[in-house]
């Protein structure tokens, strides 16, 4: 929706300059890190600036096993397996917050699905209270058995409440999903909804927006799901085309029945992509477009250095930094205003072109403005030429977006890296070998004392003894005798064994 259209619909609309999203981005990262501290399985997935998915199955299962069913009113929710005092008190005789679906007045202790959702509601309430107390933000939450259902039910009682979907059976889940407008189902895009609605015999010429919240088309999930012309095979045929995903028919059919097998991704410090965009009244000359591309490129490089550069503790130079990930792809996307007298009306879809990201962008010592200038001339303008308007038409750009994607995680000492940093290993060589060297020196000293008391012989035994022990070292962890050339590998073996 354009700003002029928004002001027409809402004359009292207050406009705030949102060009610099740094404060929002920083707070989003802070809240994301906060939620990660409460996760045991590290499955915390950020969606945009203000949404987070958490898979808390392991925490709920543990607390379910610890539940004192004789005193549910005075239950204690454990937040740590190792620290029994870390947690909070809760009354699990009732569900915290609002309930959607079947409400049970008396807790059914034998129904494990009910008890899991019950505990999940209290955990969600605790997290929301912590966010409000520590950071001053109100929040809403949806508690259910998969990502799609939790997102749908979480929108029921905004902006400062939570809702638990108490749908135990398959029929109850379907009954909940059926009432929703088709465009509100996560995973169903603008074009997919139009195709499905048309196949079901609905009028899809108006009311369907690219923004789900703005769609007022009355077609519901039930209208499509129950139509005789809709089936997994039919959906596959309707949506199959060049570049289409495999098994799209089964996936969408499952979503229409409330089934979403998508797992919550493990938390990562590396974003999947970094993008910068801005909108305009109309960029109509190449000079203006180039100027704006340079501004966006500067912002993109700053974002990359903020999100992907970390201190290099293994470097010899104080204050040195290293890239924890390097994107491989550069993408330029744009959206064009409708031309005067155009019969098609305004089109809010964007077009894009991609190419390889130049390596000079990773030179953290070079000036940002200089790198941005090279990025525009050597990479972005060639992509722009591939998006040139039709012959006889001028540029009339409404939006520009620059994105770097396809992150390749760099070497690191933790499991998020693509491998161990060999330079750091060599620099820590003396430190790692120190306990082995001490053991070797002690052994050599002892063997020298022993040889002085042994009667003289032909010397063969002494040579064999030196061969067996002199060039080896005793491992301080397992006590095995290790050849010196294999000490580093043996130490890594213990590290991997301890991390499993």
- 492 versus 457: the higher-pLDDT residue is 492
pLDDT of residue 45: 94
pLDDT of residue 208: 57
**Count helices and strands in the chain by DSSP H and E runs:** 17, 15
Class of domain 169-267: mainly alpha
Q: Is pLDDT of 24 > 70?
A: yes
pLDDT of residue 340: 44
DSSP 8-state class, residue 271: -
User: How far, rounded to the nearest angstrom, does the alpha carbon of residue 117 sit from its chain's CA centroid?
Assistant: 24
Instruction: Find the mean pLDDT for residues 265-272.
Output: 86
Length in residues, the chain = 500
Instruction: Find the mean pLDDT for residues 443-461.
Output: 42
- Domain 22-166, CATH homologous superfamily name and number: Reverse transcriptase/Diguanylate cyclase domain (3.30.70.270)
Q: Is pLDDT of 114 > 60?
A: yes
pLDDT of residue 3: 77
Instruction: For the chain, give every domain's residue range.
Output: 22-166, 169-267, 274-409, 428-499
Q: Is pLDDT of 73 > 50?
A: yes
Q: Is pLDDT of 412 > 70?
A: no
Q: Is pLDDT of 166 > 50?
A: yes
What does residue 165 show for φ and ψ, rounded to 5 degrees? -85, 105
Binned at pLDDT 50, 70 and 90, residue 41 comes out as very high
Average pLDDT, the chain: 83
User: How far, rounded to the nearest angstrom, does the alpha carbon of residue 428 sit from its chain's CA centroid?
Assistant: 33
Q: Is pLDDT of 19 > 80?
A: no
Q: Which residues of 285-324 are buried (b: 16+ CB within 10 A; e: fewer)?
A: eeeebbebbbebbbbbbebbeebbeeebeeeeeeeeebbb
Query: Minimum mean pLDDT among 68-72, 207-211, 232-236: which range?
Result: 207-211
User: How far, rounded to the nearest angstrom, does the alpha carbon of residue 31 sit from its chain's CA centroid?
Assistant: 13
- 202 versus 260: the higher-pLDDT residue is 260
- 158 versus 484: the higher-pLDDT residue is 158
Q: Is pLDDT of 453 > 50?
A: no
Instruction: Find the mean pLDDT for residues 237-254.
Output: 87
- Domain 274-409, CATH homologous superfamily name and number: DNA polymerase, Y-family, little finger domain (3.30.1490.100)
Q: Is pLDDT of 346 > 50?
A: yes
Q: Is pLDDT of 339 > 60?
A: no
DSSP helix/strand/coil, 142: strand
pLDDT of residue 220: 92
Binned at pLDDT 50, 70 and 90, residue 341 comes out as very low
Instruction: Find the mean pLDDT for residues 90-97.
Output: 92
In the chain, what percentage of residues exceed pLDDT 90?
52
* Overall pTM surpassing 0.85 (yes/no): no
pLDDT of residue 207: 54
**Bond before 134 cis per omega within 30 degrees:** no
pLDDT of residue 378: 96
In angstroms, rounded to a whole number, what is the distance separating the alpha carbons of residues 3 and 22?
A: 22
């Amino acid at each position: 929706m354009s700003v002029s259209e928004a002001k027409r619909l809402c004359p009292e609309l207050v406009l705030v300059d949102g060009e610099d999203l740094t404060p929002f981005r920083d707070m989003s990262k802070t809240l994301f890190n906060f939620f990660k501290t409460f996760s045991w399985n590290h499955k915390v997935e950020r969606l945009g600036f203000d949404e987070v998915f958490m898979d808390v199955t392991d925490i709920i299962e543990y607390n379910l096993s610890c539940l004192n069913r004789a005193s549910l009113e005075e239950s204690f929710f454990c937040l740590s397996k190792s620290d029994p005092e870390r947690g909070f008190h809760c009354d699990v005789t009732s569900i915290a917050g609002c309930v959607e679906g079947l409400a049970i007045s008396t807790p059914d202790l034998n129904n494990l699905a009910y008890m899991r959702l019950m505990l999940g509601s209290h955990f969600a309430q605790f997290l929301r209270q912590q966010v409000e107390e520590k950071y001053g933000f109100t929040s809403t939450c949806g508690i259910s058995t998969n990502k799609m259902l939790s997102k749908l039910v979480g929108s029921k009682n905004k902006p400062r409440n939570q809702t638990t979907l108490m749908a135990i059976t398959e029929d109850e889940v379907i009954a909940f999903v059926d009432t929703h407008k088709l465009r509100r189902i996560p995973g169903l895009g603008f074009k997919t909804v139009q195709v499905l609605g048309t196949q079901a015999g609905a009028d899809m010429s108006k009311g369907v927006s690219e923004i789900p919240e703005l769609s007022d088309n009355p077609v519901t999930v039930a209208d499509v799901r129950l139509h005789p012309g809709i089936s997994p095979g039919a959906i596959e045929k309707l949506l199959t085309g060049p570049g289409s995903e495999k098994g799209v028919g089964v996936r969408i059919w499952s979503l229409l029945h409330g089934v979403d097998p998508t797992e919550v991704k493990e938390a990562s410090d590396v974003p999947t992509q970094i993008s910068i965009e801005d909108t305009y009244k109309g960029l109509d000359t190449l000079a203006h477009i180039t100027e704006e591309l340079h501004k966006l490129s500067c912002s993109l490089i700053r974002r990359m250095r903020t999100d992907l550069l970390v201190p290099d503790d293994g470097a010899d130079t104080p204050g040195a930094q290293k890239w924890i990930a390097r994107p491989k792809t550069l993408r330029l996307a744009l959206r064009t205003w409708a031309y005067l007298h155009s019969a098609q009306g305004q089109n809010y879809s964007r077009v894009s072109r991609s190419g390889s990201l130049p390596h000079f962008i990773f030179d953290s010592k070079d000036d940002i403005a200089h790198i941005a200038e090279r990025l525009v001339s050597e990479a972005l303008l060639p992509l722009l030429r591939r998006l040139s308007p039709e012959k006889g038409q001028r540029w009339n750009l409404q939006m520009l977006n620059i994105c770097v994607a396809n992150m390749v995680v760099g070497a690191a000492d933790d499991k998020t890296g693509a491998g161990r940093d060999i330079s750091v290993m060599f620099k820590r060589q003396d430190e790692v070998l120190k306990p082995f060297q001490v053991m070797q020196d002690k052994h050599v000293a002892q063997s020298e004392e022993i040889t002085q008391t042994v009667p003289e012989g032909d010397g063969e035994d002494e040579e064999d003894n030196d061969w067996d022990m002199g060039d080896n070292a005793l491992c301080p962890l397992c006590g095995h005798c290790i050849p010196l050339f294999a000490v580093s590998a043996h130490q890594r073996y213990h590290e991997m064994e301890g991390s499993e």
